[in-house]
Amino acid sequence: MAGEKTNGDPGFFDLLSSFKLSSIFKKKEPEEEAIYPLADAKHDWATALEQFHAGNYDQATLLFRRAVENLLKANCPGWGSKGLSSDLLILSKKAYFSEPPVVVTKALAFLNPHCTRVKSVYNYDFANEVKDKSYLVIRWIAEQRPSYSTFDPDLAQAGHKKK
């Protein structure tokens, strides 16, 4: 018969019930909101270093930037609420840090647009510049906040010396 299951195969309605119509109509975000932004920032930084030293500059560039974003979010009051901006300059203001030095503001502005995945565009020099600017911002955040809301990028970097 047309509607019967045979040999344990799922029927039409079984397949339909596992399909979520909301996935068609809901706008997908490029990245899920961080659940634990400090832990995510540490993980992103370590993974970015691994990707950078493996020559995966596209992935490293995005992860360096995301580490900065997550660290800024970890320092924002109410970071658990959805809808925090991904704009690094806005996040640095929401975190109630002192006015950043010009060099940090320029680093945040430089890192800001690099949040979407672009394939085969980034080379070593560009990824290295992103790494250096991310490191600068992370060190500035560490100076602004106690250790419970930041991390030491040098600890992660110690195992990844430049070849």
Dist. CA 13–CA 92, nearest whole Å: 49
> 3-state DSSP call for residue 21?
coil
DSSP letters for 83-103: T----HHHHHHHTTPPPPPHH
* Nearest-10 crossing angle of helices 124-144, 37-53: 150
Q: pLDDT tens per residue, the chain (163 residues)?
A: 555 545 555 554 444 444 444 344 343 334 445 567 888 899 999 999 999 999 999 899 999 999 999 999 888 876 665 666 788 888 888 887 778 889 999 999 999 876 555 555 678 998 999 999 999 999 888 888 766 667 778 776 544 444 4
Instruction: Return the domain boundaries, the chain.
Output: 37-157
- Fold of the 37-157 domain: Four Helix Bundle (Hemerythrin (Met), subunit A) (1.20.120)
- Model pLDDT, residue 25: 39
